[in-house]
Amino acid sequence: MSYLLNALVMLITLAFDAVVVLFLVRLAAEAGRADFRNPLSQFIYRTTNPVLAPIRRVLPNWRRINLAAVLVAWLLMLLKRLVLFALVGFMPHIAGLLVLALADLLDFVLMFYLILVFVWSLLSMLSNDPHQPLQRLLGAIVEPLLRPLRGRLVFGMMDFAPAAVMIVLLLGRILLAAPLLDLGTRFAMGG
């Protein structure tokens, strides 16, 4: 690939991933019952609601999982893959494209949570302001992942629950997302 094409691929990937992050934060905030009065929660809600509201009429939530946000995130990953394939002049098989978009979304979600748990851990060590909007939102998002391990991995004054969750997320990327990505690639190439 040329340098210009590499730069274009990076910009396209960055643009699609930024939009997907908005929908994933909405999904995770709803699932974690984040405080709606938080200004960051309100921004996410106002930004994503025009897209999600019509879809939610047809595709309601399942338990606390916003299926409309999942669908939009998957469609964005599908569109991103389609655009990237079009840039190199290749039209993949549709089954491979669907599986690749699913694999991309799974990998993205695992990486998303990995980064959030890491950032939350750093913020909890450096700042103890319970009214800080970012810390409150991150706490609501990562708490469902940390809750099963809370108090079980404490040694001395250190809680290793975030480290254990990050290891599980990394294993998920290696053992779930990577094989699904390989399968999707084989299907997309017609193999």
Q: What integer pLDDT is reported at residue 175 of this predicted model?
A: 98
Q: What integer pLDDT is reported at residue 156 of this predicted model?
A: 83
* Tokens standing for residue 141: 């998002």
CA angle 34, 172, 142 (to 5 degrees): 15
What are the counts of helices (DSSP H) followed by strands (DSSP E) for the chain? 7, 2
Q: What integer pLDDT is reported at residue 178 of this predicted model?
A: 97
Point out the residues of the chain with pLDDT beneath 50.
none
Q: What integer pLDDT is reported at residue 166 of this predicted model?
A: 97
Residue recorded with tokens 């025009």: 50
For 161, the enclosing helix (H) or strand (E) is helix 161-172
Residue among 72, 84, 91, 85 nearest 12 (CA): 84
Q: What integer pLDDT is reported at residue 127 of this predicted model?
A: 75
Q: Would you say 114 and 171 are in contact if contact means Cβ atoms under 8 Å apart? A: no
